[in-house]
Structure 1
Amino acid sequence: MEYRQLGASGLKVPALSFGAGTFGGRGELFGAWGNTDVAEARRLVDVAVEAGVTMFDTADVYSDGASEEVLGQAIKGRRDEVLISTKAGLPVNDTPNGAGTSRPRLIKAVDDALRRLGTDHIDLFQLHAFDAATPIEEVLSTLGDLVAAGKLRYVGVSNFSGWQLMKSLAAADRHGYPRYVAHQVYYSLVGRDYEWELMPLGLDQGVGALVWSPLGWGRLTGRIRRGAPLPEGSRLHRTAAYGPPVDDERLYTVVDVLDEIAGETGRSVPQIALNWLLRRPTVASVIVGARNEQQLRENLGAVGWSLTPDQVARLDAASTVTAAYPYYPYRSQEGFARVNPPIERLVHQV
């Protein structure tokens, strides 16, 4: 397994991480994702760690905390071998402080996560969403206290816009608070919006990307084809409304090219989609999930090999969309690109 520096931090993370959203199985959304119990979770952790996948990602809202509980029991006895990444900030109850990232909410969220995970520290703690009602300085000072107390090692965010992340980084620099080193983002061959602003920001500011839903919310599993109905067992029947929307024609165009490359390489459609992501700028780790050992082992096959430049170019062409303003001129007009080059050109200059 390849290990990569997480942003501008000293932490090294595996190129693939394991997402524990399938652990627990509580609620409409997470029940549809999976209901992995402790025994199965232990087996999946064993397989993952043996392959070098040593970072496990969860959140307090995953199955109402059950995901953290199951993960904590699954890693019992091998805490020093793994990295734990968890998140807080989305609503967990209807009380006034049951959502957001205020000081009392963050302190309680961290203490609750430590208890459920059965550990004394969290390696990477991320804000699950931007809280517009809480001053950024309050958030950062609280995280600083939690880092100083030894409860958190590193901090990051998830699902922030460019201005929200940049304003937070500027405040951290101004006051000497801990800097966000990771941004957990949606990024896939059928969802490339991350490239427009957040990727250049990450490159400039040293914020590494942890990619969630790299298979486009289950659309790039190799089971969805043009002209065919949605497979009967697909979780999209129950979860499509929760995830990022994807235009059907664009999806089929991307899948057509994935099928072509699968024939050329002998690799599966998911392995090709994941391998493409692993070569993208700023990506530190791609989070893969699995409801069983077979799915996990297939995802592990995404590493240890590379697509050819021609194959990457074909995937790029099939998946590209016109960027929103003000980004599209810089991607389509040479005059704009000359003064603000595309991210790929900037990477080669670093």
Structure 2
Amino acid sequence: MQAVVCHGPEDYRFEEVPVPVPGPGEALIRVEAVGICASDLKCYHGAAKFWGDENRPAWAETDVIPGHEFTGEVVALDEEARRRWGVDVGDRVVAEQIVPCGECRYCRRGEYWMCGPHDMFGFKRRTPGAMAEYMVFSPASLVHRISKDLPPAHAAFAEPLSCSLHAVERARISFDDVVVVAGCGPIGLGMIAGAAAKSPARVVALDMAPEKLDLAIKCGATDIVNIAEHDPVEFVRSITDGYGADVYLEGTGHPSAVLQGLNVLRKLGTYVEYGVFGSEVTVDWSIISDDKELDVRGAHLGPHCWPAAIRMLESGALPLDEICTHQLPLARFQDGLDLVARGTESIKVSLIP
């Protein structure tokens, strides 16, 4: 089969490799689409170069097929796998990014998304990813069925959307809240849709691209602010009697968005971080403690949010034709990575094997 193989930072190659053979309790999947995200870009460049810090190890092992946002069709599985996942040959499926060990402290406590070994599709040799014609789901994989009525690139959007919804869950949004979402890329737009589904008082979207702000309205934002033209802190204070936002969801990975969030929040507000950063961030922590006593929360992966993400995709609630902007043949993986790196021409880029 044809596949993209990582041989090191900035050394991804389009190659012929053997079709994987599923073992007991596993399933062979014909990949229909695989998305490219900021984490893929970080791995492509190598974490050390990406961060400008040689002490940071590379994220992905070599000789690995990348790709962790995917959908595909089941082409072979045994009875054990059929019973475990409730799927059969011909079903379209997605799987969560992480393949938990089931044995570490986090897995034993039900916190599988923080699994100690942290095997994830597309990052380690024992869990090859989806930038290939076929892939295998191991017995520990977390598998969900998804409608065949969706275009493949739309179905593969289940992964980033589940991540967005997890960030929303971490925020514990209430009906009276004013929620601010920084960034209207794939993660930010999903945050907007998830936050709007909680029915808060306002959902304010921040970005510098007018076309992305237009999409934010379609995803459920009540207000949009082009931060290249207007001060978001002043705007939020103008709609909150001077207090500030209740919740700030950060989905850009830009260092300036961190201080922006700390400033836009009211006292006792909640900050949720999901962005993939390309450099370290320094802020005055007294804003978090002495000034405002903020709740600052991280968010990682999309635990327990996949069923909701799939329902949202299947319902047609999101303008997926406008979010999933580019679908390229697998052989054009480099063009896809470059599109994501530039960030000005695309929102969600997918490869179609």
Same fold (TM over 0.5): no
Larger strand proportion, structure 1 or 2? 2
User: What is the TM-score with the length of structure 1 in the denominator?
Assistant: 0.27
Query: Which one has the bigger helix percentage?
Result: 1
